[in-house]
Amino acid sequence: MNDATDYSKAFAAKPQPLTLEQAAMITPPMQAIDTEGMIDVPRMRRYRQNRLREQIVRQGLDAIILVEPLSIRYATGVRNCTLFQMHIQAGYLFIPAEGPVVYFDSEPGRETGSTLETIDEIREDLLPLSYMFAGPNHREMTQMWAKQMDDLIRQHCGSGARKIGIERAGFHAEQALVDLGHSVSDVAPVLAMARKIKSPEEILAMNMTLAVAEDGMTRMRNGLKNGVMEQELWALMWQALIEGGGEWLDYRLLASGERTNPWQQEASSRMIRAGDLVVFDCGMVGPFSYGADVSRAYRCGPGKPSDYQRSLYTMAWTEVMENTPLMKAGASFSSIAMNRHIPPAGFGDQPYPCMAHGIGMADEWPVILHSPDHPEFYDGELEAGMVMCVESYIGEVGGHEGVKLEDQVLVTESGPITLSRYPFEEELLIR
């Protein structure tokens, strides 16, 4: 079997274990959102929860309590009102190192959690952790919540003081648990170390999101014409996302003309004119909540690009192409930074904040900065199964144009595989 089509035929009838390299070549059918299709979703969920339990033990914890909806999604597969729950806590999850997983849901009978094999018990005695619902009773509610968690801890982790990892429960809730004798720590290291290594099923899910993102890119490419507003163009990416069964876009990074320098300006009502560069970063959380973080730059026609536009684009493209081979299993972050491609003088003075970063369910650990000498630099090592986004921004300080490009790359034992397939602009490349 030599291509994605052959693999699709082989595994469409009944999901079979794939290697990372095989998964990288496949984009599953969209029906897999609603049926198992090629992606063995229960196997993917079991893999993720097992990764979490391994890290709970490795980090020296007895249990973790998750409140962030994407973390709960990773741990169990629950998807419901995700953006709402990012600012209002409306559910929480208890996972001991060993023992039953307990989910507290505001609507315990709903299908989002009741059919999942990753949850052993759904309880309806949810307590309000947000001030919105608790109001002046907030302190009392958090003390009741701590007692609720303490009962679970004693039941499933043993009596006495225990080490618990918590995220986003709030100061009063965490303090109330400390007052009951437990040691509380940030759960972030558990999540980061669990999520960094993807299973082949996760790569399949990520490829679905990339396909949706690339559909949006095509819609924007086809809709790019003189007089269209930046936000009109960006709406086409949202349309592709929603129609493709995705979740949301993390930002609205699309700029044109003089707004492409400096980078990280959001889509506006500026009317795009013929000859403008149009630069964007998709930042998508798509099907199964997996991320696509790919950047491209177009030129609005008619006419031909200027030599300056082509030089900017080629420098950005070269940086991505030269840095992608560095994403090898076993490579240290410091060696990657020291061996990175350095743009010509004057064009790398305002680089993107990092040269590469991890991605899974949205952007995640690690972040590789451009220099080991940077005060915020931390070291580590790439491993097979990690997915990295390789970044470049090229624009002169004080210049009127810039180009941002980015690819999404799977790290394997046999070398990096670029998952993002959307082509670069041949008319903007100097070959």
Tokens (6 digits) for 230: 């930046």
Q: How many Cβ atoms are within 10 Å of 224's Cβ, its own excluded? A: 18
Task: Quote the pTM value.
Answer: 0.93
pLDDT tens series, the chain, 431 aa: 233 334 334 344 445 678 999 999 988 876 544 444 578 899 999 999 999 999 999 999 999 999 999 999 999 999 888 888 888 888 999 999 999 999 998 776 566 677 899 999 999 899 999 999 889 999 999 999 999 999 999 999 998 889 999 998 999 999 999 999 999 999 999 999 999 999 999 999 999 999 999 999 999 999 999 999 999 999 999 999 999 999 999 999 999 999 999 999 999 999 999 999 999 999 999 999 999 999 999 999 999 999 999 999 999 999 999 999 999 999 999 999 999 999 999 998 888 999 999 999 999 999 999 999 999 999 999 999 999 999 999 999 999 999 999 999 999 999 999 999 999 999 999 98
End-to-end CA separation in angstroms for the chain: 33
DSSP tally for the chain: helices H, then strands E: 14, 17
What the chain holds in terms of domains, given with CATH numbers, is 41-195 (3.40.350.10), 200-428 (3.90.230.10)
CB-CB contact of 292 with 380 (8 Å): no
Element (H, E) at 171: helix 171-179
What DSSP letter does each residue of 319-377 carry, written as one string? HHHHHGGG--TT-BHHHHHHTS--PPTTTSSS--S-SEEEEESEEEEEEE-S-TTSTT-
SS (H, E, C) 64-77: EEECCHHHHHHHHC
